């Protein structure tokens, strides 16, 4: 677990910065009456949040990581969900950036 947490923290820092930039871009698009959608991740995602901005998903992921850290023993199922959420965030943020 000692090897995993620094990598997760590093990825969260990247996701956080990218999400702030993406949310600013979404604000600009919305002011220009573009980007009309209801949620970032749909019902089929691992995220329970259903929001129009990236930051709520970052908060959810941070809560998941905090719970994982508190666990003591490595919960592989919980770790898999965290990794899948991190991958989803990176893929979606990169796809969003490339469409701007």
pLDDT, the chain, mean: 92
49-53: long-range pairs with CB below 8 Å, 24+: 52/26, 53/23, 53/26
Q: What is the DSSP string of 1-38?
A: -TTHHHHHHHHHHHHHHHHHHHHHHHHHHHHTT----S
Torsion angle (degrees, nearest 10) of CA 68, 70, 71, 72: 120
CB 100 within 8 A of CB 26: no
Domain extent for 76: 4-99
Predicted structure pTM score: 0.91
Per residue in 33-59, pLDDT tens? 887 778 999 999 999 999 999 999 999
Per the structure, the count of domains in the chain is 1
């Amino acid at each position: 677990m000692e090897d995993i947490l620094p990598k997760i923290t590093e990825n969260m820092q990247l996701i956080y910065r990218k999400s702030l930039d993406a949310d600013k871009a979404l604000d600009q698009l919305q002011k220009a009456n573009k980007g009309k959608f209801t949620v970032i991740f749909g019902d089929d995602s691992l995220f329970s949040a259903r929001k129009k901005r990236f930051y709520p998903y970052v908060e959810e992921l941070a809560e998941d990581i905090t719970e994982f850290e508190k666990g003591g023993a490595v919960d592989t199922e919980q770790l898999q969900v965290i990794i899948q959420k991190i991958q989803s965030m990176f893929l979606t943020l990169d796809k969003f950036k490339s469409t701007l």
